[in-house]
A = this chain, B = another copy of it.
């Protein structure tokens, strides 16, 4: 699978009183990279909702190991790859890099959601369409 590279300029406001990136921002950047990766093949939340009634792509789980701190004004990159598809989910792995230095290694498992028939406030995962998977081959 190809790897999507998403550039990030670390902002002053992305950092906390320790002077280093406030860790939830790595998840914001992972999410942004996932959305940019799908946008690059023509997929978006807006299109999926309008055409299919889907909520894309809610999280099943996510996590990260933090290797080195990042600081304001550093140019970093998020390298993102879809590494596995299951019938109703897919796993994306992300690496935050500053040059050759790995700052964080993370993952997201996501699905395609639709309102649950028993309770529209809940979501349930639909089968992943083969056409989506093929966009990344």
CA distance A25 to B39 in the complex (A): 21
The number of chain A residues with a CB under 8 A from chain B is: 43
Q: How far is the CB of A118 from chain B (nearest CB, A)?
A: 13
**Choice from B16, B36, B66 contacting A16 with Cβ under 8 Å:** B16
* Contacts A35-B12, A72-B35; A63 near B66 (Cβ below 8 A): no
Q: A22 to B13, Cβ gap below 8 A? A: yes
Q: How far is the CB of A33 from chain B (nearest CB, A)?
A: 10
Q: B17 to A31, Cβ gap below 8 A? A: no
> Which residues of B lie under 8 Å from residue A72 when comparing CB positions?
17, 35, 44-46
Q: A36 to B123, Cβ gap below 8 A? A: no
Q: How far is the CB of A133 from chain B (nearest CB, A)?
A: 21
* Contacts A18-B45, A71-B121, A73-B36; A11 near B28 (Cβ below 8 A): yes
Q: How far is the CB of A48 from chain B (nearest CB, A)?
A: 10
CA distance A31 to B27 in the complex (A): 13
Is residue A15 contacting chain B, with contact meaning CB distance below 8 A?
yes
